[in-house]
Amino acid sequence: MNNRPPLSESLNTEVISTGWANWFTQVFLGLPWVKGVNITATLDFGATGAQSQSALTVSVPGARSGDAVQVSPATDVSGIIFTGVVTAKDTVTVYAKNFSSGSINPASQIFRIIVLQN
């Protein structure tokens, strides 16, 4: 496996060069994940107090305890980090963790939730 990215090539986010595509493929194939579930969901967390968190559940068919979860909001929310955990069969709980010193009410938005399984 070539674990060095092709830094001489531009990493354009719209069109990935062959070198970068090969590198990402090699890195991904080196991981133990054999299957993935990819969904989008519109989530509205409401106000989340300072130094606290809010949680919402999302149905993700095929998700099982121990699977890895990646949560990506459509837009960044300053002061909030979004994470996810499989909390029951076919269910992911998405957390909005507020690390700021004030309450934050993030706007409702679309989230991409990816569950990786091995």
Q: What is the CATH number of the domain that holds 49?
A: 2.70.40.10
Q: Give yes or no: residues 40 and 19 share one domain.
A: no
* CB-count exposure of residue 98 (10 Å: 0-12, 13-18, 19+): buried
- Encoded tokens for 19: 């070198």
pLDDT given for residue 61 in this prediction: 95
What is the distance between the alpha carbons of residues 13 and 5, in angstroms, rounded to a whole number? 15
Q: Give yes or no: residues 2 and 58 share one domain.
A: no
Q: Give yes or no: residues 98 and 45 share one domain.
A: yes
Q: Which of 5-9, 35-39, 76-80 has the lowest mean pLDDT?
A: 5-9
pLDDT given for residue 9 in this prediction: 54
Average confidence (pLDDT) over 18-43? 76
pTM for the complete prediction?
0.74
Q: Which of 46-50, 103-107, 112-116 has the lowest mean pLDDT?
A: 112-116
* Residues in the chain, total: 118
Whether 25 has a pLDDT exceeding 90, the answer reads: no
Average confidence (pLDDT) over 48-76? 94
Domain that holds residue 26: 1-30
CB 81 within 8 A of CB 100: no
Comparing 5 with 101, the larger pLDDT belongs to: 101
